[in-house]
Structure 1
Amino acid sequence: MKTAILAGGLGSRLAEETVLRPKPMVEIGGRPILWHIMRHYLQYGHNEFVIAVGYKGEVIKRWMLDYATLSADVSVRPRTGEVRLHGQGVSEDWAVDVVDTGPHSNTGGRIKRLQPWVGEETFMLTWGDGVSNVDLDALLAFHRSHGRIATLTAVRPPARYGHIVTQGDTIVEFSEKPQIGEGWINGAFFVLEPEVFSYIDGDDTQFEKEPLENLARDGQLMAYHHTGFWQCMDTVREKHILEELWRTETAPWKTWE
């Protein structure tokens, strides 16, 4: 089963970090957030990835090419073009297709362009800027149980500000991160059937609009409710949150050893 990751957006709200690189290449603990996402999928046995790139896609391509090389000793014969790697330090046994889906394609357009790469089979899909400890086995089992075209992982977003409850001027309750009190939102981490492509018109289509709305209208969109950790990285503040969790070795999305 292929796992598609959308990694082509501009990341304009994280402009301090994305001037020279795409948002999925912004690092958490010295590794791109894209690596963290892929490592979580690999923990559940999903090792075939199709990455849709656009803005500064060459940075992602270069990182994929360099990752194994820079972790090993290298023998180079420039005259013949021979390159040999010795004692590779890479433990991730995955296969990755990096697909240029255009610099200006919207989310739906990027997904549509991946159709030849994922084939006529069930596939997983997520964005390249959010991490979670979602149980991918349970998610897939839920998807297969209902027989619909699409499953969306619904999450409760972490609150941006602390929450207080008062009686008059007296604070009677204070909660720094009342995630459970927030409404459900689209946390990505989809499981999709190939029929989903018929709901996408072309490059300008935003997947979160007409395709998901029409799937819901047709009774073909189901929600897998994830009550555990989920965090996107849209802003510098959110990057710092993830960095601090990683630094203190309390990162909930680190589901691997």
Structure 2
Amino acid sequence: MKCIILCGGKGMRMGGDVSPLPKPLVKVKDESLILHIIKIYLKYGVNDFILPLGYKGDLIKEYFVNLKWKINDFKLTMKNNVIEIYNDNLDFNIHFIDTGLNSQTGYRINQCRKLVNNEDFLLTYSDGLSDISIDKLINHHKKENKIVTVTGVNRESQFGVLDVENKLVTSFKEKEKSEEIINGGFFCCKFDVFNYLTDSKDCIFEDLPLKKLAKDNQLSVYHHKGFWKCIDTQKDLSDINNLSKSLWER
């Protein structure tokens, strides 16, 4: 099963045009964010990835082309410029697709249609870390037999929650999780989802396609109650770097 990782956006809340790196390449615990995300899937045997590129996509290409010799010891034979990597444990494929600088998510997904080969596929963003079980997500998707399964997570307030009685605070809870479920960004899709997408660069997957799927009773939810964190701002990046990596590598 292939996995599409959306990584073409500008990530304006991370710095946008003034940032030297696209969001997927920002460092989390000395590794790029996108490599952490790929490793989530590798644990479950998913090793064929499609990256729809846009903003600074050339840097993402260069990162993966040079990745093995940068993170491993190696031998270089100068005569023929051959590199022999030692202890290489990265085994996966990536299809790089240029989907345009200002394209929306629905259009980027639609451009991957031919590579999916009429099969179910996984889909996620390049800014979310989680200890989600991809096997459980896939099993839920097959059991519910809907076109799209979205992972739902409980929203965490960015502010402290006050319980107030007679103008007095009776309790204070820091960043409490609410009962509201939000899009956690890990999807499993049937090939039929492409019938809900258009070839317009303005097609936003999270807008009309998902709304139409919900209206047609073709959008199921897998409720993940474990660790989940979206790295959307510099503060999010600082917060995740202060956490233990084991939280999303379990």
Deviation at 1:76, TM superposition (A): 4.7
Paired residue for 1:137, among 135, 138, 156? 135
Paired residue for 1:191, among 188, 195, 209? 188
Equivalences for residues 5-16 of structure 1 within 5 A: 5-15=5-15
SS of the residue 2:242 aligns to: helix
Corresponding letter in the other structure for 1:146:
E
Paired residue for 2:164, among 154, 163, 166? 166
Distance (whole Å) between structure 2 residues aligned to residue 41 and residue 17 of structure 1: 30
Instruction: Say which is worse superposed, 222-231 or 190-199, in terms of deviation.
Output: 222-231
Match of 1:45 in 2: 45
Paired residue for 1:101, among 99, 102, 105? 99
Corresponding letter in the other structure for 1:65:
V
Corresponding letter in the other structure for 1:8:
G
Distance 1:173 1:159, change over 3 A: same
Corresponding letter in the other structure for 1:99:
I
Distance (whole Å) between structure 2 residues aligned to residue 99 and residue 72 of structure 1: 30
Match of 1:242 in 2: 240
SS of the residue 1:156 aligns to: strand
Corresponding letter in the other structure for 2:73:
A
Assess if the C-alpha contact under 8 Å between 1:10 and 1:18 holds in 2. Answer: no
Match of 1:253 in 2: 248
Deviation at 1:18, TM superposition (A): 6.1
Distance (whole Å) between structure 2 residues aligned to residue 10 and residue 122 of structure 1: 28
Distance 1:204 1:99, change over 3 A: same
Distance (whole Å) between structure 2 residues aligned to residue 54 and residue 250 of structure 1: 28
> Residues 61-90 of structure 1: CA distance to partner in whole angstroms, max 9, x if unpaired?
111011112223142557x5x423231x43
Identity of aligned residues (%): 34
> Residues 29-49 of structure 1: CA distance to partner in whole angstroms, max 9, x if unpaired?
111111111111111111111
Q: What's the TM-score, normalizing by structure 1?
A: 0.91
| 1:211 partnered with 2:209 | yes
Deviation at 1:182, TM superposition (A): 4.4
> Over aligned residue pairs, what C-alpha RMSD do you find?
1.7
Equivalences for residues 21-170 of structure 1 within 5 A: 21-70=21-70, 71-77=72-78, 82-87=81-86, 89-170=87-168
Q: How many residues align?
A: 248
Q: What's the TM-score, normalizing by structure 2?
A: 0.93
Distance 1:138 1:17, change over 3 A: farther
Instruction: Say which is worse superposed, 226-235 or 165-174, in terms of deviation.
Output: 165-174
Distance (whole Å) between structure 1 residues aligned to residue 127 and residue 16 of structure 2: 15
Instruction: Say which is worse superposed, 90-99 or 155-164, in terms of deviation.
Output: 90-99
Distance (whole Å) between structure 2 residues aligned to residue 252 and residue 73 of structure 1: 31
Gaps of 5+ in 2: none
Deviation at 1:169, TM superposition (A): 4.1
SS of the residue 2:15 aligns to: helix
Instruction: Say which is worse superposed, 167-176 or 23-32, in terms of deviation.
Output: 167-176
SS of the residue 2:204 aligns to: coil
Deviation at 1:57, TM superposition (A): 0.4
Distance 1:225 1:62, change over 3 A: same
Deviation at 1:184, TM superposition (A): 0.8
